[in-house]
Amino acid sequence: MKKELVEQIKNDPNYKELVSKRSAFSLKLTIAMLVVYFAFILTIAFDPSLLGTPLSEGSVTTIGIPIGMAVIIFAFILTGIYTKRANSEFDDLSNKIKNSIKDNA
């Protein structure tokens, strides 16, 4: 890729907006996932009896199983949220950048 083209892309306001929005959004999702994950892990480390509580009297399944599954499902939901936004807003900005480069070429 030519240096001029790279500089043109870097100086495009749509590119700066894309980088800023995508970074901020991914940081928020990352923090959300880390909070949920580490809350689960720290609960296991410091209060394992809480997650070891049976779901019902005489049940072998503990409350930790559905909570662990919820952590995994939460990760899938965050992935879906990111993908939805990437396929709409972020792709629109990327297309604007491509079109402005084509127009200037």
Which residues, 6+ apart, have CB-to-CB distance to 74 below 8 Å?
33, 36
Query: Mean pLDDT per segment of 10 residues, for the chain of length 105 residues?
Result: 84 92 96 97 94 90 95 97 94 90 77
pLDDT at 1: 60
List phi, psi (to 5°) of 62: -100, 170
* Model pLDDT, residue 87: 94
The whole-angstrom separation of Cα 83 and Cα 71 is: 19
Structure tokens at 76: 């899938």
